[in-house]
Amino acid sequence: MREVVTRLRDRELTVSEALKQRLTGVPMPEIFDEDEAPVIGTESEDDSTAARISQFGTAREATLVRLRGVAAEEWDLVPEGGGQPIRAEARQLLDNDRRALERIVALLGAPTPAADAGARTPPDR
């Protein structure tokens, strides 16, 4: 599961940085290499899955802040030099999230009815 979360985090950081570049003109840092995952600056190989989820959350927050600043008319503009409109990029990101969550659920397995019933509290009478 850690690998799924790591890919989710790395994809989010890449999208966030690309969006920053597109909106501000500030180039992406030279930390990206074809064979190397993007670096947030706080991660290490020993990070727990929970830490990687937190790093994903930080990167997602940055993405959402950037998207909030996009004017309505900019969502469907094709960028100069080619590429996809922001709306298409956002949809791809959501599709990626859905696939990652499906993989996580498959890895964790569905809860058994007995375990699920034990988590419920009886109604007040």
> Per-residue pLDDT for 87 more than 90?
yes
Give me the residue spans of the domains in the chain. Answer: 2-109
Q: Which residues pair with 36 in a beta bridge?
A: 33
Q: For 47-73, write each residue's pLDDT tens digit.
A: 899 999 999 999 999 999 999 999 999
Whether the pTM exceeds 0.85: the reply is no
* pLDDT band at 12; cut points 50, 70, 90: very high
Q: Residue 83: left (phi > 0), alpha (psi -120 to 50), or beta? A: left
